[in-house]
A and B are shown apart, each in its own frame.
Chain A
Amino acid sequence: KAGVTQTPRYLIKTRGQQVTLSCSPISGHRSVSWYQQTPGQGLQFLFEYFSETQRNKGNFPGRFSGRQFSNSRSEMNVSTLELGDSALYLCASRRTVTGANVLTFGAGSRLTVL
């Protein structure tokens, strides 16, 4: 079955602009999480959606927002972009294995802010 699909894969924006990233989870997966990966910081949790409801939110400013649609596809939006927002944004959908929450990640959207 198809994996997690993220679009676009690469994009360049300038400071002050806004960006929308899209994620299609694995068919049948209803939970979508977003993570930001930057050098030296690892993966940092942004938020998680399940059945169109945000269930968890990380410690990011309000400029970072997301939503989930009825078909489980999710979008995240970053407004008023700053240079420090340059990162790889990873989306993951969830299945559960032996009680552990195993995430299946997409390839990511690499955002560069100039």
Chain B
Amino acid sequence: DQQVKQNSPSLSVQEGRISILNCDYTNSMFDYFLWYKKYPAEGPTFLISISSIKDKNEDGRFTVFLNKSAKHLSLHIVPSQPGDSAVYFCAASPFGNEKLTFGTGTRLTIIP
């Protein structure tokens, strides 16, 4: 039972363009949503988060959008850079619960 879904296993984007990574969830108890980025041979690193009281959060080139009614969130990277090539994981948790539920990841490749 995959409560957090990333339906695109891979995505290729031209350098300088916008990368949009999508994530859907089924558990209405989820209150916090996070994106992690993972390079090979390294652990995932935190990118950006959003709580369910917001619909948008920005941090530099990264913006996360949350649509609670659709149970959908997306990560926008503008402009995309070669160093952004990595696997991106979406994660979610209910309020006050330390357990994160992760999606299966999307491999983003930025084409120079």
| A, B co-complexed | yes
Chain A residues within 8 Å of B, Cβ to Cβ:
4, 31, 33, 35, 40-45, 48, 50, 55-56, 58, 90, 92, 94, 97-108
Chain B residues within 8 Å of A, Cβ to Cβ:
4, 6, 32, 34, 36, 41-46, 49, 51, 89, 91, 93, 95, 97-105
Given the known inter-chain contacts A98-B51, A99-B95, please indicate yes or no for A45 contacting B44, CB distance below 8 A: no
Select from chain B the residue with minimum beta-carbon distance to A45: B99
Check B41 against A107 for contact (C-beta < 8 Å): yes
Q: How many A-B residue pairs have CB under 8 A?
A: 69
Check A41 against B34 for contact (C-beta < 8 Å): no
Chain A proximity of B75: nearest CB distance (Å):
15
Select from chain B the residue with minimum beta-carbon distance to A88: B43
Given the known inter-chain contacts A4-B43, A42-B105, A98-B51, please indicate yes or no for A103 contacting B95, CB distance below 8 A: no
